[in-house]
Amino acid sequence: MRSLFCVTHPDWDTTISEIVEKGGKVGKAWIENKKRSGFAFSAMCWEKSFIPLEIWKAGDANTNIVESVHSNINLEGVRCTLLGGIMKAEIYDWNKMEALKNKEKSGIRLSYQQQHPFENAERMLKCKFAVHHQQIMAADMKIVAAEDKILKAEEEVRKRQKKLDNLLAQPQSSHLTRDSAKFSQKVNTSRKSPSTAKRKLQENIRRAQSLSPGSGKVKVGSHQSHT
């Protein structure tokens, strides 16, 4: 059935016959309904209509038209003569244009709900911006958290290094011979402590550098001097 919505159809009659034969009762009823309407096929295929091709191409590219549009145009009248239908459609189009002009000048809409495509597009852009802004803020918060971890890791490196320096600065004569082995073990352990803290610092820096840049206003500081 969808192939019937076209500008030109390669084999219209054969397609109609196939819908009747293979579509069963529903397909046959659909075709009969469109034939009785007198205009359905003309609205589907340009070849079946008298509409200039330029105007046809300028129309909607699909048949998913808002139901309220059908309701509004029907308020102008139904079962009109050809001339009456043309005149009522002209009045309807004029009223729609005046409504758009009033919207542009005063901001007054026909209803409380947004209906015009440009309003829907504007709302969609605002929603996308809001989501994007939330993502950026979340990325900035991750950068701040990573920076805080780096600063704490730096402080831990300084603390452990200071502890080691203080231990090594103690005079050897202050230790008894029986404590020499224990003292050496303590020194060896203390030497490993700053290295462990530095590795953790480097790991935090690598993680921070792999984060999304966010807004660009919050950046991870340079900590290469501690690596």
Exposed, middle or buried, 205 (CB in 10 Å: 0-12/13-18/19+)?
A: buried
Cα–Cα distances in angstroms (integers) from residue 19 to residues 24, 29, 39, 50, in the given order: 8, 10, 18, 25
Query: Tell me, what's the pLDDT at 29?
Result: 92
pTM above 0.85, yes or no: no
Query: Tell me, what's the pLDDT at 130?
Result: 92
How many Å apart are CA 144 and CA 165, to the nearest integer? 32
The token duo for 172 is 């050897």
Query: Tell me, what's the pLDDT at 173?
Result: 53
Q: What proportions of the chain, in percent to the nearest 5, are helix, strand and coil?
A: 75, 0, 25
Query: Tell me, what's the pLDDT at 176?
Result: 44
Consecutive 10-residue runs of the chain (227 residues): their mean pLDDT? 79 90 90 88 87 78 57 79 88 87 81 69 87 90 88 87 79 54 71 80 84 80 49
